[in-house]
Structure 1
Amino acid sequence: MNTFITALSLKEISEFTASAGQPSFRALQLAEWLYGKGAESYSEMTNIPKAFREFLEETHPLVRPRITDLQKSKDGTGKFILTFPDKVCVETVALPSSNGKLTICCSSQAGCAMGCSFCATGKEGFTRNLTAGEIVNQIYVAQKHMKQRVSNVVVMGQGEPFLNYDATLDALRMLNHPKLFAIGARHMTISTCGIIPGIRRLSEEPEQFTLAVSLHAALQKTRDELMPGVAKYPLQQLKKALQAYVRATNRRVTLEYAMISGINDSAEDREALEDFCAGLLCHINLIPLNKIVDSPFQPSLTKTMTHWQATLQKNGIETTIRHSRGSDIAGACGQLKNAFKHSSYVSRETYELPLKKLK
């Protein structure tokens, strides 16, 4: 079976070009055509020998993921459903900002095995890991469609990135490469449910990627009920791993906390969160729960969230209330479940945004 070139990491491209008897520079040359120059066919790669291009066409066809659905939020957020050649679908979200920046929220897996009770992706189950190239091509396709250079990437879509660690890191390195996407490492965030071995591995990486942890509860019993997939990583051990990460990297950790009315927003919950943050260099993002179909959970009241923010900040814990974008198209955190709204791809003509042009 042929392997699509767009599924491969830069390392894998290097390995197969070497095995084909090509010089060492050929791998980066090929990757530059694929991502830096955006070639859609091998015929465009004019400085690559014709015989090798023909070999590539036969052994590693150039096929991008296809946009099979696209929705636009009233706040400007775009949600793509991308289909890979094996018919597996993932969701990718583009978040343009008023200052000309473009953030892409990409998926690391098709589906998710974590089973978080408030998350639509977890209810859909796990399909498979994505390859490094498949992660990268989410950014490529979204950037090309939005006609704007991507400035930030968050691996916060479908899946748990630390259960697909190697592919995720290979993808971020391709995005960071100066001749491909040239996105700064500090502008790329990996969001984990709290997979401790992954946190430890990341602390040893040379790049300054940002770490975010979906905490959602600082009381063990509550967290186990909300996030059964990480119940084997107790909060006490998670905190120690995060403290070790901060010592090793000198970088702050972001803690994501989706506030759910009557579940994790009591005074006891807040005090437990304060205890968890004690002695930890961190920033808290309080997120009003995004509603999903057939869920009994409801977001916390605004007054509860503002009280939490004020109290946490008074106690020296930097805290932000993050207003999720794209919730009206089920494109916000916890809502990604490959739900098609349209029967086919929506063209650019029906998806106009006041965006800066790609330079």
Structure 2
Amino acid sequence: MSSAPAIEPARGATPGRVNLLDLDRQGLRDFFAGLGEKPFRAVQLLKWLHQRRVTDFAAMTDLSKAVRARLAECAEARLPSPIFDQESRDGTRKWVLSLDGGNAIETVFIPEAGRGTLCVSSQVGCALDCKFCSTAQQGFNRNLTTAEIIGQVWFAQQALDAEGRDRRVTNVVLMGMGEPLANYRNVLAATNLMVDQHAYGLSRRRVTLSTSGLVPNLRRLADDSDISLAVSLHAPNDALRDEIVPVNQRYPLAELLDACRLYVERTPHHRITWEYVMLDGVNDSDEHARELARLLEGIPSKINLIPFNPFPGARYRCSSRERIERFSALLQRSGYITTVRRTRGDDIDGACGQLVGQVEDRIRRHPRWGGTGENRA
């Protein structure tokens, strides 16, 4: 399946109106308090917006006519707009969604036996400049709003329901475009909605935030949330990580590991998932595997080895299958649960950020777009 709907810019914000998809339950309580309404209105609205996926206030029949009229005057429920849709041979489905200001992001649904994982973006581009990442090579544009983050979940489930194949989002991973902890406030509100029983009701173990290691906000997260944590490690020592994950120069491994230990202590999770991209001749030697095992000693861990997904202009190659299997075996001998991520969607521009760059070029050449986009803070 590969389709490309007529390209239209996302509907812009209506001046003076609050986008209610930007608000988690506490945010909605505060909003209704400002209208002189009772806090229970927040739960009613959560169910309409996120469980029933109704955005027309007039259809929200358990709200009084007066409340519905007031909402129509001062609020809206505005979502990202689909501009491109591809489905892989293996069932992976990838959308490009348009946002305000001529921006676009990727969202990916990965079906597996008994589960459906949605990979969502948190920023347009990324400022961390990891050398093996396609998104990083595009630079940073702006943070996503809460509505643009949770809107990906809203949109994906709506699109899956329309298929008639009984596919559902059971897991969400913030592993798409951007560094989630660099957009802390909006990501926190969006994940609150993901696990809220009156919104999406996902288990905290089924919502995973992936970070490259912004230590101060990782420490904050231990106080504010208890969703699952994945850390983009990719190197077993500071010298190598400084090179391929530059944020390590600011927050070296000792600080990162201390923050991860704190997260394990303060949350009910039993382990951290460490992501490790396999780069041929760079970080994949036997000694790197032994060094990694020593580095993580004492931290409840699962190690996810990720075959590098090449993109145009990439200076790295993926490690061979034999090298990845050898690396995995060494970690397993050291007592670590180790998996090798199966490549999915490699026939539909699988590297994160790769498809959106192509589609954005097409959008900006399209006469109906009417401009080249703008950088919104």
* TM-score, normalising length: structure 1: 0.89
2: CA distance between counterparts of 1:87 and 1:333?
A: 19
Of 88-97 and 137-146, the range deviating more from structure 2: 88-97
List gaps (5 residues or longer) in structure 1. 345-359
Alignment pair present for 1:172 and 2:186: no
For residues 43-65 of structure 1, what are the alpha-carbon distances to aligned partners after superposition, in whole Å with 9 as ceiling and x for unaligned?
A: 21122223332332232223221
Alignment pair present for 1:139 and 2:153: yes
2: CA distance between counterparts of 1:314 and 1:38?
A: 48
Structural mapping, 1:1-359, within 5 Å: 1=15, 2-99=17-114, 101-147=115-161, 148-205=167-224, 207-249=225-267, 251-333=270-352, 335=354, 337-340=356-359
2: CA distance between counterparts of 1:130 and 1:78?
A: 21
1: CA distance between counterparts of 2:145 and 2:85?
A: 22
**How far is 1:6 from its partner?**
2.5
**How far is 1:342 from its partner?**
11
**How far is 1:244 from its partner?**
2.8
List gaps (5 residues or longer) in structure 2. 1-14, 162-166, 364-377
| Secondary structure of 1:329's aligned partner | coil
Distance 1:68 1:292, change over 3 A: same
2: CA distance between counterparts of 1:156 and 1:95?
A: 13
Distance 1:57 1:230, change over 3 A: farther
| Secondary structure of 1:320's aligned partner | strand
**How far is 1:98 from its partner?**
3.1
2:9 corresponds to:
none
- Does structure 1 conserve the Cα–Cα contact (< 8 Å) formed by 2:96 and 2:356? no
2: CA distance between counterparts of 1:282 and 1:289?
A: 21
2: CA distance between counterparts of 1:95 and 1:135?
A: 18
* Identity percentage of aligned residues: 38
2:11 corresponds to:
none
1: CA distance between counterparts of 2:103 and 2:70?
A: 27
- Does structure 2 conserve the Cα–Cα contact (< 8 Å) formed by 1:81 and 1:338? no
- Does structure 2 conserve the Cα–Cα contact (< 8 Å) formed by 1:313 and 1:319? yes
For residues 119-161 of structure 1, what are the alpha-carbon distances to aligned partners after superposition, in whole Å with 9 as ceiling and x for unaligned?
A: 1111111122122222111101001101133110101111111
Report the AA paired with residue 30 of structure 1: L
2: CA distance between counterparts of 1:203 and 1:281?
A: 16
**How far is 1:231 from its partner?**
1.9
For residues 161-198 of structure 1, what are the alpha-carbon distances to aligned partners after superposition, in whole Å with 9 as ceiling and x for unaligned?
A: 11112221221111111121111111111100011122
